[in-house]
Amino acid sequence: MAEKLIAKLRVKQMKMADPIALESDIASALWEELPLTLRDDELTISEDDPEEDELMSHENDAPEDTDITGAGLRVKGTFIKASREQMVALMGGSVSGTGDDAKYAHSATKLVLKKSIKITCYDGTQIIIPSASGYVNLGLTIGRGGRAAFPFNFRCLKASPAWDCDILL
């Protein structure tokens, strides 16, 4: 019987910084703390299926050759308990007033973020995404048990021509 190994990583904290071009720049990056992630939701890092382009000929039914191109990694999850200032940084818009009178005005234009992401887990594991491009959405549930949730979706990018890396585990 084969054994199954299940690794469970629980997010302790997420941070963002400007994109990182070299592995040596990770230590000097200025990381800003992000809101909490939703416990009921999974923070998934998944690889899309690669794209295949088949070269066909009239004489054969089977392809002559196939080009396979990777589709890249995505990071998806949901933030909760974001401050109004964090909402502006993640989704755009503005804040007016202070304290209990503070109001967040959501921008009608989608803010696209180009950042690096650091995920720290309770077991000490750190996952670094040196360069990512993505967005955060506004998701409000109003009513009994309602909450404000902010689903995010980032595509991992190549760090730089000098560093061929899209995720560091």
Is there a domain that residue 23 lies in? yes
Element (H, E) at 88: helix 84-91
Q: Total domain count for the chain? A: 1
Whole-prediction pTM: 0.83
User: pLDDT digit of tens for each residue in the chain (169 aa)?
Assistant: 566 555 567 889 999 999 999 999 999 999 999 999 987 777 888 888 888 888 888 888 888 888 887 778 999 999 999 999 999 999 999 999 888 888 999 999 999 999 999 999 988 889 999 999 999 999 988 777 778 899 999 999 999 999 999 999 8
Is there a domain that residue 65 lies in? no
Supply 64's token pair. 């002559």
Considering only the C-alpha atoms of the chain, give the largest distance between any 2 of them, rounded to a whole number of Å.
74
Residue 96's domain spans which residues?
A: 11-49+74-156
Is there a domain that residue 147 lies in? yes
Residue 135: phi and psi, rounded to 5, are -145, 165
